[in-house]
Every structure is written in structure tokens, then in C-alpha cells.
């Protein structure tokens, strides 16, 4: 069964460093998303992406964040200068069409020290 994959599974970085989180969505999906979950808290929407552009972003998704689909398969989230409060689990999700369900990847745990 097709699934969303994410790499790395765990990333440790120092405050101020740039990180890139990678996702490979399900191949025929058209809608792509990033969410994050701070430990013990609810899942929060960051950004949605369709037709090679951002369709919506939350207030969390400030200038430090960017997304890219550099080729036909990968979808990346870049954090330019990480802060301690960026420590969280980051989930990528993809969807075939709206309003169909979003399929979540296994997540990347980001630890900023």
C-alpha cells in the first residue's frame, strides 16, 4: 500500500542552524501539507501546497519557514534559523483530491539544542 515517507526520522540541530526536512508524498497525490506537534500537544497546521505554490499557511509559518517541491517526488520544509521552540514532531501529509482524507507520514522529530 502506498505511503508517505519522511527523512530523517530524528534530527538534532543547534539553535540558529538551518534544517531541511524531507517528505515523499504518495505518488498520485496533488495536495501536500506540513503539520507539527509539540510533545504532548495537539497537531498544528503549518502550510498547504498545491500546483507548485502555497495555498494556505498558518501564523506559525513565518519567514523562517519555506517549502519546496524541487522535483516530481520530494516535498521539503526548510527552517532557516532554528529556535528552541521549533523542537517538535513534524508531519508531512498528502491528499489526492479535496475533500478526501490526508495521509500522514511517520514524522521527523526535530530537536533544537
Partner 1 sequence: ELKVEQNPLFLSMQEGKNYTIYCNYSTTSDRLYWYRQDPGKSLESLFVLLSNGAVKQEGRLMASLDTKARLSTLHITAAVHDLSATYFCAEETSGSRLTFGEGTQLTVNP
Sign of CA pseudo-dihedral 42, 46, 49, 67: negative
Binding site for partner 1 (CB under 8 A): 31, 33, 35, 41-45, 48, 55-56, 58, 91, 95, 98-107
Q: Which is nearer to partner 1, 45 or 65 (CB)?
A: 45
**Least spacing, CB of residue 13 vs partner 1, in Å:** 20
Nearer to partner 1, 25 or 95 (CB): 95
Report in angstroms how near the CB of residue 48 gets to partner 1 at its nearest.
5
Amino acid at each position: 500500500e502506498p505511503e508517505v515517507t519522511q527523512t530523517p526520522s530524528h534530527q538534532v540541530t543547534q539553535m540558529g542552524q538551518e534544517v531541511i526536512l524531507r517528505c515523499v508524498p504518495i505518488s498520485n497525490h496533488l495536495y501536500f501539507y506540513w503539520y507539527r506537534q509539540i510533545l504532548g500537544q495537539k497537531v498544528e497546521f503549518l502550510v498547504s501546497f498545491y500546483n507548485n505554490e502555497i495555498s494556505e499557511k498558518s501564523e506559525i509559518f513565518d519567514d523562517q519557514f519555506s517549502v519546496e517541491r524541487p522535483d516530481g517526488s520530494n516535498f521539503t520544509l526548510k527552517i532557516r534559523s532554528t529556535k528552541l521552540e521549533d523542537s517538535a514532531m513534524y508531519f508531512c501529509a498528502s491528499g489526492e483530491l479535496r475533500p478526501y482524507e490526508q495521509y500522514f507520514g511517520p514524522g521527523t522529530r526535530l530537536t533544537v539544542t
